[in-house]
Amino acid sequence: MPRSLCQITDLKAAEIQEIFDLCKKMKQKKIAPRPLEGKAVACIFTKPSLRTRVSFEVGIFELGGHALYITDNEIKLGQRESIADAARVLSRYVGMIMIRTFAHSDVEQLAQHASVPVVNGLTDLVHPCQILGDYFTVLEHQPPKDRYKIAYLGDGNNITNSWLNLASLIPLDLRIGTAEDTLPNEAILHKARRNPDSKILLTADPKEAVTAADVIYTDVWASMGQKHLAEEKEKKLSKYQVNSSLLAWADPEVIVMHCLPAERGREITDEVIDGPHSVVFDEAENRLHIQKAIMTFLLK
> Which active-site residues does the annotation give?
100, 127, 130, 219, 259, 287
Question: Who contacts 132 (Cβ-Cβ below 8 Å, separation ≥6)?
Answer: 8, 16, 19, 166, 290, 294
Q: How far is the CB of 13 from ligand NVA (least distance, A)?
A: 25
Q: Which is nearer to ligand CP, 122 or 290 (CB)?
A: 122
Amino acid at 220: V
Member of 46, 158, 286, 291 binding ligand NVA (CB under 6 A): 158
Query: Residue 157 binds which one of ligand NVA, ligand CP, none, with CB within 5 to 8 A depending on kind?
Result: ligand NVA
Q: Which of 148, 129, 144 is nearest to 254 (CA)?
A: 148
Member of 157, 162, 165, 182 binding ligand NVA (CB under 6 A): 157
Q: Which is nearer to ligand CP, 26 or 290 (CB)?
A: 290
Question: What mask of x and - would describe binding to ligand NVA in positions 110 to 129, judged by CB under 6 A?
Answer: ------------x----x--
Member of 67, 159, 172, 189 binding ligand NVA (CB under 6 A): 159
Residue 242 as a binder of ligand NVA (CB under 6 A): the answer is no
Member of 220, 250, 254, 290 binding ligand NVA (CB under 6 A): 220
Query: Residue 50 binds which one of ligand CP, ligand NVA, none, with CB within 5 to 8 A depending on kind?
Result: ligand CP
Member of 176, 192, 216, 259 binding ligand NVA (CB under 6 A): 259
Query: Residue 75 binds which one of ligand CP, ligand NVA, none, with CB within 5 to 8 A depending on kind?
Result: none
Give me the residues that bind ligand NVA (CB under 6 A), please: 122, 127, 157-159, 219-220, 223-224, 259
